[in-house]
Structures are given as C-alpha cells and as structure tokens.
Structure 1
Amino acid sequence: MNSVKAFAPATVANVSCGFDIFGFAIQEPGDTVELYKRDEPGIVITDITGDEGRLPRQAEKNSVTVVMLALLKHLGIKDLGCEVVLRKNMPLGSGMGSSAASAVAGVVAMNELLGNPLSRKELLPFAMEGERIASGSAHADNVGPSLLGGFVVIRSYNPLDIFTIPVPEDLYCTLVHPDIEINTKDARFILRNEVSLKNTIAQMGNVAGLVAGLMKADYDLISRSMVDVIIEPVRSILIPEFKEVKQAAISNGALGCSISGAGPSMFALSQGIENAQNAGKAMQERFASAGIESAVHVSGINQGGAVVLQ
C-alpha cells in the first residue's frame, strides 16, 4: 500500500453534565487525511486546506502528524517516508472536536498504511497526544468517540479505562456552530479548581441519570439529567445569547441543550429527527436575531467512528 485516505467525524464532548468523561460522534462534518509514501524518510505535511493558513506545517507541532510520529516511535519504525495532506472540514476552535478529528484521522490512516498493527482501542493513547498539542490536555472525550464511534464514557484516565454505552435509535443530535471562536485553552483556564459538595452531588446524580436514561431509552430521564451545575454556568458567559438559544431549543422539542466541548458550538438532544430539525431552526434563528450567523448539523449518533476511505 502506497497511499491511504481516512475520515474522522466531529464530536460532542462533555454532553452537559459529563465534563471530560462523556462524548459522542456525529455523522458529519469531519476531517480527511491523505497519506502518500515517499522514498526519503520522515513525515512531511505537504498541504492543509480549510484552516486559512493558521495551523503549523511542522510535523512535530500539528495534531495530525504528532500522533503519527508517536505511533512510529512506539513501533520502532525509523525509515518510513510519508507525505501528509489534511482537509479541514470544520472551523478551528469550534467546540466540535476539530483537533481531535485531525488526530484521529491521522493515526487511523497511518495505522492502515502500516497494515493495522494496532487495534482501534490501542490507537487511543496516540490520538490523545494530538489533543495535548492542540489544547495542553490529553483528554479523550473527543478523540474517543471520533475513533471508536458511539456514546463514549471515560471511567478513568490513569489507568485509561474507556467504554461505550448503547443509546436509543431515535436519539438525534442538533449541533449549531455560531460564527464566533473560543480557544480551548482559554475555556479551560476559566474553570474553577474547586467544586462545592452540593454541586458535586447534583452533578453525580445527573451523570448517573444520563447514563441510565440512554441505556433504558428513557427520554424523560435523559431530559431531566441534562443539567450541568459545574461547567456550563462558567463557560456559558463566553457564548452570546446562550440562555436564549438554549431555551429556544427546549421550547421547540429538544430534550436538553448545552455547550458542545469548550464552545462556542451548542448541541441539543431530541427524540426523533423532526424535533431535532425544529430545535436547530429555532437555535439558528435566535443567533440570527442577535446578528450572529451559524451552521446547523442534525445527525443520529455515529456508531462507527473514523473510517478508511481508500
């Protein structure tokens, strides 16, 4: 095999009450990575589209190639030469797992080029290194679902313990990206280091309720559990019209609505595609009333994650 192409989907991380432990993938958008073998050893980025020239072209500084270098080092491969083309199909700093999609597509493509020496789950620590370069934190709530698909729970980071849970077939996500940008590092910086016992208890109850609601297809329990008393109150101040957009989603059929990842994208979960579409329209209209353009994506939960296209 002399070339390979892989796609990794966008994701919703945190999912309201599950900061750094919940995430799920959607069908699209996502990033595409193309790899081409070359005679001279070394990983070289030859082209990046969709980033407006903002991403670094050095292999050791870009999420898409850092993961490849880490994988090659792990496997003891020193003489591989490869050209990398990255197609960015979502905005940077969007809260849609942009850096995670690049990292996942990169590591999946390289693993395929090498004959798949590692399983998908074994690739996860390498994909997390892409997040460390992008945001300073090797969290898995974006790379996990983008790599594995489904609704992912990270039980522990040390040691890494990750698994997926079933979700109702009629559950749909509405993801709305307003035309503003929030830097992930900044969004993490404003978080408090200490949490009250009262809020911890409330959050634990909502986390348990959301897991149970998803597994039992109990939409009312899902709705009651989509409450974040720790992260959302702090991060929501960075998103114009947050409260109004959230209320617009819920008033138009959504089970709940919150911040996607670090924002500024917002997501809603709904029973049925019609409710999801109605919620998206209402959210977009609310942003528009404040002079903010936005893009809407409606999708079921992506169960497959990243795919090799050729």
Structure 2
Amino acid sequence: MSVTAYAPASTGNVSLGFDILGLALAPIDGSLLGDRVTVLNEANEFSLSLAGHFADKLPADPKENIVYDCFIGFKAAMLEQGKAIPNLAMQLEKNLPIGSGLGSSASSIVAALAVLNAYFDYPLDKETLLRLMGKLEGQISGSVHYDNVAPCYLGGLQLMVESEDKVSITLPCFDDWYWTICYSGASVSTAAARDILPKEFSTKTTIDFGRQLAVFVHALHTGDKALAASMMQDVIAEPHRKSLLKGFDDARAYAKSQGALAFGISGSGPTVFAVSENAEAAENIRAWLQANYTQNEFGFSHVCKIDNNGIAITEDK
C-alpha cells in the first residue's frame, strides 16, 4: 500500500504578523500549489525519487534532500517510543519553487512527516508532529518558526502561540476574500531576507506592530472586513525587503487601482499577494502581475482562496 500526502502552499506574515501569522492557499482553478510526498513501499535502504515541475532544482543525492532529514527525524521520534521503523522508498513531487516565499521547504517537510505518520498509523499526535516540523524547518532557515508549517499542516489562518502545550490557533477569516499571488521567478533566500532587516526596531514601530495585530485579530472575530484590511500594512519587513523585489511598487500601485484591500510580500518574497473582494478584480490583478511582475518562464500567478483543510492524505491499496 502506498500513501501520499499533499501539503498546500502558504504565505507567512500576511503583512502584519511577522513570524506569527500564516495562511494556507488553494488556487480556485483547482491546480496544485503545493508539494506531494509518497511512501511507495518498504525497502532495504532509503531511496527518494523526484518528480514535479521544480524537481531539477533539488540535489540528486537523496541524503541531501529535506525529505531524508524528515525520515531520520521521524525515525528518531519512533525510537524514543521504543519502536523501530524500516527503510522506505519515497517520492517527492516538487511543485513549489525554492526560495519563493510560498513555504516551499515547509510544504516538503509537512508532506513528508505527515505521510510518514500516516503510513505508520499515526503514532505522533498533531502537536508533537507540528513541533518536529518546526524543528526541521529551522534546519533550513536557521531558526525555528511555524508561520508556514502550521497553516500548511492545519490549514486556514494560523496565529502562532508557541506555548508549552500549543503551537498555534486557527483564527476566523473571510472565506469570500480572494488572494492573488504571483511568484516572479526569481529566488530570495530566507536568510538573505532576514539579513536585510534591522537588528532592532524603534519604539514607534514596535507599538504600531502590536496595535495592528491586536486590532486585526479583533476585526476577524467581529467580522469587520474593512477594519481588518486597514491593518494589513507591514511595518517590520516590507520597508526593507521591497528593495529585493523588482517592480514591487508598480505591482502595488496596479493592485490598488483595481480596488485591492491589501497588497504585500508573501513570506520573504519574491512572491507578492493582493487581497480582493471580488473575482473580477482578483483576475485582473493576476493577469497584470503575470505580464508585468514575472521575470522569466518560472514565474506564475494564481487567484486563490484560503485552504481550510491543510494536509491531505490519500491511500492507494
């Protein structure tokens, strides 16, 4: 029996929630915007085959792939329970570009750990698995953060709590909002995007950040769309990171001209997102971004809704 896990793309920060807000995405046309990992069968030694549009961007050696690290991490977690697991033959279908700001590494990690957990009949509970996902994500980005792995795994809009017993909580959101995303085709590493940020922020910026996040969460709970949208301005990262994104200001100007409620950088970039209240505006923005913001044949743009499901597991008997 083979088991497959699909893990959707996600946008971290959502402009106003640096490192503590994340949203899962699903294109409205039904196309896959996320990675898939399959456990094919048990084997004498670990193997990993690659597929998908961005497979050629990955190292050829399976042991240099994050999926192998996930297998080792999961195997260690099983040994802590006194259980040994066999080597496996696995496949990674890489549908998300690396360094895109769409939670590419998180998608592979979430899909890999979720499929391993499903294949071995769910020995790890959701919180334990989520913390392991964050740990593996930290190996790539240099610090443990959950703003991509949490929405990718759990779906919806997630607020990072990171208490002793809970990593994140699901916030209410507006299911009728359209999220237009566009990946330029360039690559921005999380480490480089973090290096460009100041090491310290002013008291004013800190107060603005806290106020916006508090008001935004209140607006979500009260259903006040206008108030929520008015808070979606990035005072932490965007003023510094937008210099890494060619054509950002023009893209924002066009989105706003089409009535976008908000416009910002998805995660570390270079992907950008626009929030609209109607499908026509969302599609107009998508088409313009595809024509003007993408830089090469790898760039793409989608109109999305919130993916409230997160990880999806399927079995082939």
**Does the TM-score normalized on the shorter chain lie above 0.5?**
yes
| Contact preservation (8 Å) 2:131, 2:167 | no
What amino acid sits opposite 1:242 in the alignment? F
- Distance in 1 separating the partners of 2:236 and 2:211: 13
Equivalent position to 1:306, from 290, 303, 311: 311
| Contact preservation (8 Å) 2:40, 2:90 | yes
What is aligned with 1:7?
Answer: 6
Once the two structures are overlaid, the 10-residue window that deviates more, 130-139 or 254-263, is 130-139
| Contact preservation (8 Å) 1:156, 1:162 | yes
Deviations 1:74-130 (A, max 9, x none): 121434120111011121111111111000000110011000122333310111133
| 1:267 maps onto 2:273 in alignment | yes
Query: TM-score, normalized by length of structure 1?
Result: 0.91
Task: Report the CA distance between 1:205 and its aligned residue.
Answer: 1.3
Change (3 A) 1:210 1:155: same
The share of aligned pairs that are identical, in percent, is 34
| 1:118 maps onto 2:113 in alignment | no
| Contact preservation (8 Å) 1:45, 1:57 | no
| Contact preservation (8 Å) 1:17, 1:228 | yes
What is aligned with 1:37?
Answer: 41
- Distance in 2 separating the partners of 1:125 and 1:15: 21
Task: Report the CA distance between 1:165 and its aligned residue.
Answer: 0.7
Equivalent position to 1:217, from 202, 205, 223: 223
Once the two structures are overlaid, the 10-residue window that deviates more, 68-77 or 52-61, is 52-61
| Contact preservation (8 Å) 1:175, 1:266 | yes
Equivalent pairs counted in the alignment come to 306
Moved over 4 A (4+): 57-60, 157-160
Equivalent positions of 1:61-80 (< 5 A) are 61-76=64-79, 77-80=83-86
What amino acid sits opposite 2:36 in the alignment? T
What amino acid sits opposite 1:268 in the alignment? A
Change (3 A) 1:213 1:65: farther
| Contact preservation (8 Å) 1:168, 1:215 | no
| Contact preservation (8 Å) 2:127, 2:166 | no
What amino acid sits opposite 2:143 in the alignment? S
What is aligned with 1:295?
Answer: 300
Once the two structures are overlaid, the 10-residue window that deviates more, 156-165 or 169-178, is 156-165
Q: Any unmatched runs of 5+ in structure 2?
A: 27-31
Query: TM-score, normalized by length of structure 2?
Result: 0.89
For the residue of structure 1 that corresponds to 2:167, the secondary structure is strand
What is aligned with 2:56?
Answer: 53
Equivalent positions of 1:218-237 (< 5 A) are 218-237=224-243
What amino acid sits opposite 1:255 in the alignment? L
- Distance in 1 separating the partners of 2:140 and 2:33: 19
- Distance in 1 separating the partners of 2:276 and 2:257: 12
For the residue of structure 2 that corresponds to 1:211, the secondary structure is helix
What is aligned with 2:29?
Answer: none
| 1:83 maps onto 2:82 in alignment | no
Equivalent positions of 1:232-243 (< 5 A) are 232-243=238-249
- Distance in 1 separating the partners of 2:199 and 2:169: 27
